[in-house]
Structure formats: C-alpha cells, structure tokens
Structure 1
Amino acid sequence: MSRSQGPSSLKRKRPESNSLSQSLTDQERKLYDVIRSKQDMGIWTRDMKRETNLPDNVVNKSLKALQAKNLIKEVVNIQNKGRKHYMATEFQPAKELTGGSWYVEGSLDTEFIKILRKFCVDFIAELKVATLEKVTDLIRRNGVFAVDVTQQQVEEIVRTLVLDNEIMEVKSNGMGEFASVPIGKVCYKLIGKGGLGGELKAKTGAMASIPCGVCPRISHCTPDGVISPKTCVYYTKWLDF
C-alpha cells in the first residue's frame, strides 16, 4: 500500500474497445455511464437506482455483470460503511471517501499514526528546535516506513502534538538555539525537558532566551488576562534561571 499523494486522484482514462462496448446490455450501459460520470467520488446504489430508474433486480444483476467485466469496483465509504458504493475501475477513490492517508481499507491506521507521532517527538527533542521541513526530511531519510511520508502528514501529526501539549509552536528569534532557523520562521520545541519548560541555554545570555520573545500567544498576554506573566510557568522558570 502506498500513502504517497500524487497531483491527481484520477488515473488516465482508458479507451473502451468496440467489443467491450458491444458486450454491454442497454441496462448495463446506462448504469455504467452513471457510475463512471461520478469519477473518483463514486455513487451509492440507492442513488444510482434513482438516477437510472432501473428496477432493483436489474441494477443488482447489472452491477454483478459490470464487476465481472472489470468495469466497476466496490469501494469503502468511511462515512457510511454500511452502504454499497461503486466507481469505475479507472479511478482511484477520493480522500473524502477513504479518509485520506490515515486510513487503510476503511480503517484508521492507528499503528502508523502512533509510530509517526513518536518519531516527530524524538526528532524535535533531539534537535531542540525543529522546523516542519526538517522533521519531514529526517523521517524520510530514516527509512523506517515502507511508504512515502508527506510533509502534509507530518504537519497534521505535529498539530495534534501541539494540541496534546507535547510540543509547542514558536517563532524563531534568530538567536541562541534558534540561530539556524530564519527569524520569524515557525518551528517547534518539546514542552518539558529540553523544551521551553526545561533548562534554558545561555549561549547568548539569559535575555536572549526569554520565552516571551518566542511565545506564539504573546499578543494575547496581559497582566490580568487569562494568558498572563503571573500565571506563565515558562516566564516563572526563566526568572528563576
């Protein structure tokens, strides 16, 4: 299975041979045209019955015939797994149907997500400060996955880690541990040991490492607000430095 995301979900259309076209009954042709017109989104059996006005027994018989001729295929719709969904074999299912790269045959690939989360945390911890591009590059070069890991996938994983308070999104000030990251560039640090809540480095002096300078929520920080220097654990630890 490949999780790589190409520029298009559609395959190049195959011209039908005259013999194949002639082998279809009128009902099969009508049904096939409706299914094929839906391209990578496919169509639910109830909808195709409504659009073709064909009786249930004719639709069911025609579906079996079209599948036997390898013209259509049944696909899983993660939003409605109990519904029979079909599309022409020349198309690949859209991510709206499959759930995208996190799903395998209609099921969430929890093991893949778990391992990718761990690698993201490990690399960010190792680098102290890491950009999304750097983390993606390290994961790809590691070679642990048999499939292509995209930057979009890494970004989605990183977002969940931020929401889970395992890492923090910050902006580089270009100094100290941020020296290798362009000023203003979004990057990530581990929360806790090795992160903003851990030991602060003083290569350029303590003032260069003040957490306020890289805090993504500094614009919302007020003396008596929900976000405040009085309640900020990172600012308190910096004062104790």
Structure 2
Amino acid sequence: MSTLTAKQKAFLALARSHPEGIDDDAVEQALPEMGLEERMKVINELASKSLITFMRQGNSLLYKAKTDAEAGKMSMMDDHERIIYQHIEDADNEGIWLKRLRDRTGLPAKVVDRCIKKLEQKLLIKSVASVKFPTRKIYMLFDLTPSVELTGGPWYTDQELDVDFIDTLATQCYKFILSRSFPANKPGAIYGPEYTFYPTAGQIRRFIMDNGISTVDLSVGDINTLLNVLVYDGKVERRAPVGDLMDWDEDEDIGGRGGRRAQRKKKPTKEPEYMYKAIRNKLTDTALVDIPCGKCPVYEKCSETGLVSPSNCVYFKNWLEF
C-alpha cells in the first residue's frame, strides 16, 4: 500500500467498502473530484498491480477490490496464470470444467495445462470430482469447499450413491414419525384434528443427530429430502401447522356504506414449518394380504380344475414351508 498514490488509495478504499463490487456511477458520486480520464488511469494502474478485478453484472461493469492476501497471490503469477486463476475464481464453489476454461480464456490447450499445473503446485487451485460428470476435470480455488451439486451431498460416498445409508436414515425417520403419530398403548386409536405435536423436519433432524444415527452432519434440507421420499412412497403425509398461516387484512366494506364487512386473507408471509404424520396401512395388518392369495396376480384364474390351483400353487407351498 505504501507504493500507491493518494488517489489510488482512495479508489481502493472505496472499492473495498463495497465487497460485491462498485460501478462507475457510484465511483463518480463518491469521488467527484476524480475525472473520467484520471479515474480510468487509476483503475488500470490498480488492475496492473492485481489490486482490483473486473466483474460484469448485466450491462454494468463492476470494480471489485482484492485483499492484500489476494493481491499477494496474484503477484506470484504471470499474465497467463492470472487469467486462468481469475476464471477459476469466478466459478466459485461450482468449479469450472477444463474444456470450458479453455474456451473462455481463448488460450492454447498447452498453455492452459501448464498454468493449471503451476497453480496446483502453488496450492492456489485444486481439481475436484463431480458425481454428475465423473469424467470431467473440474477446477476451483484451493480453499473452497465443493458445492452439493458437485459432491452430491451426504448421500454420496466416493462418488457412489450410498443406498444403504439412505435406506437406514429413511427407516429411522419413519419410525420416529410413527412413534409420534398415534397414541401409545391404544391399538387403532388416532389423535383428533386439534393435535399439534406431529414432528417437524427440524425435530426429526435433532433426533437423528442426538442419537448418533448419522455421523454426517445433516441439514434440515437433507432431512426434507428424506421426508419427500417417504411422502412419495405413501408412508407419511405432510401437514401444515395448525394456526394462522396467513395474516388478515383490515376489514373491507363489501356491502356499500353501512353494509356487511368482511376480512380477506393475505398470502403467507413465510414458508410454514410442516409437520409429518405416519400413514397406517390397514391392509398390511390383515391375514388376507399376508397369505399369497391376498395379492396373487392370477387369483381370478385359480381353481381346483384349472392350470393354477391351490394344490399345485408354488407360492402357497413356499409360504407354508416358511
């Protein structure tokens, strides 16, 4: 900073006060004494020192300041490495595919590969794997954590969908919901419509984590993903919380002067925290469904004199032996 002029320091301080970037109009308003020609000179000088970078937002060009640490990293690079690094930086934790990186920079493949190798050696970037595109080489800044889109979140282990882990968690979620869905020690009993203690996704997450069922730190969003599976499988149902999910507008005169007044509901101001209730399938508790005849696909063709009969039924024989 000691080698910067007063105007360069003023512009850099202004840019750093706007971490998301600042456009020309904001700069002109904050630094009216700095004319356009002089401002462009200052910007180019700061850019050459790797103290600011340029961003495009719609039709506007934004100037974003680098921290001293970031500027130090940039000073370790040549021009080609700096171009590669900035494109990888712009990709954030989504990363950028090697082919796309070559297309966007317009640099020869050998130059891009050489720069990537050097940046990896300096521990400035890293290669990450994608569960969606396992054959692609994707790069991001070294200190970033890959997004869920790349890693697949907690449901993937070594880029493979962990079906056993998912099934175990879904089963435990269902058992917890089931334990809260019906009165204990009262077979066949149900709660009334005023019952408000069905578990929410947050409560289910707390149960999973507190009991050590998952060693992976699951978010409420992850639990909601499991609950959606249970809903689609017909094992649980989603219920809106009891109470006013909507605010009421002020009284509205709908009958003219002195006429009847009514109230209108507004749209919900926030997403409600849904509760989940287990669905009890009564058919699975009957003996008719338990035996093969209860779910036989050729039941209508079964008779003592037909090709299919109780005496030669393979399914019935296996069920009796079991």
Where on the TM-score scale, by shorter chain, does this alignment land: which range?
A: 0.5 to 0.7
1:131 maps to 2:199: yes
Report % sequence identity. Answer: 30
CA contact (8 A) 1:172 1:187 kept: no
Q: Out of 129, 145, 150, which is 2:214 matched to?
A: 145
2:207 matched to 1:154?
Answer: no
Paired position in structure 2 for 1:55: 108
* Distance in 1 (alpha carbons) for counterparts of 2:162 and 2:242: 37
Q: Does 1:189 align with 2:243?
A: no
Unmatched tracts of structure 2, length 5 or more: 1-66, 183-197, 244-272, 286-322
How many residues of Structure 1 are paired with residues of Structure 2 in the alignment? 175
Q: What's the CA shift for 1:35?
A: 1.0
Q: Report if aligned partners of 1:165, 1:191 keep a CA contact under 8 Å in 2.
A: no
The corresponding residue for 1:166 is: 235
Distance 1:86-1:111 versus aligned 2 partners, 3 A rule? same
Q: Are residues 14 and 73 of structure 1, via their aligned partners in 2, closer, same or farther at CA, if it must alter by over 3 Å?
A: farther
**Aligned residue number for residue 95 of structure 1:** 148
In structure 2, the CA distance between the partners of 1:30 and 1:77, relative to structure 1 (3 Å rule), is same
| Shift in Å, 1:56 | 0.9
- 3-state SS in 2 of match to 1:78: coil
TM-aligned CA deviation for residue 126 of structure 1: 2.1
2:70 to 7, 16, 33: 16
Q: Given the alignment of the two structures, is residue 31 of structure 1 paired with residue 84 of structure 2, yes or no? A: yes
Aligned counterparts of 1:171 and 1:149: Cα–Cα separation in 2: 23
Answer yes or no: is the 8 Å Cα contact 2:178–2:277 preserved in 1: no
Greater RCO, 1 or 2 (C-alpha within 8 Å, sep 6+)? 1
1:46 is aligned to 99
Structure 1 residue identity aligned to 2:102? K
The structure 1 segments of at least 4 consecutive aligned residues displaced by more than 4 Å after TM superposition are: 170-174
Quick one: distance in 1 between partners of 2:151 and 2:80? Answer: 29
Q: Structure 1 residue 70 and structure 2 residue 159: aligned?
A: no
Task: Map Cα deviations across residues 21-59 of structure 1 (whole Å, 9 max, x no partner).
Answer: 443222222211111121112111111111211111111
Specify the code of the residue in structure 2 equivalent to 1:155.
N
Rate the CA distance shift 1:15–1:106 in 2: closer, same or farther, 3 A. Answer: farther
Q: Deviations over 1:49-80 (max 9, x none)?
A: 11211111111111111111111111122222
CA-based RMSD: 3.1
Provide the TM-score with structure 1 as the length reference.
0.62
Structure 1 residues 95 and 14 mapped into 2: Cα distance closer, same or farther (>3 Å)?
farther
AA partner of residue 140 (structure 1): M
Partners of 1:105 and 1:72 in 2: CA distance: 21
- State the structure with more CA Rg: 2
Higher deviation after alignment, 29-38 or 162-171: 162-171
Change in Cα spacing, 1:112 to 1:43, as seen in structure 2 (3 Å) is same
Aligned to 1:83: 136
What is the match of residue 262 of structure 2? Answer: none
Which residue type is aligned with residue 188 of structure 1?
K
Alpha-carbon distance change, 162 to 197 in structure 1, aligned in 2, over 3 angstroms: farther
Looking at structure 1, the residues matched to 82 and 228 of structure 2 have their Cα atoms a distance apart, in angstroms, of 47
Cα offset, 1:163, TM superposition:
1.0
Tell me by how many angstroms 1:197 deviates.
8.2
Cα distance in 2, alignment partners of residues 96 and 163 from structure 1 = 23
2:274 and 2:112 mapped to 1: Cα distance? Answer: 57
Does the CA-based 8 Å contact 1:161-1:167 persist in structure 2? yes
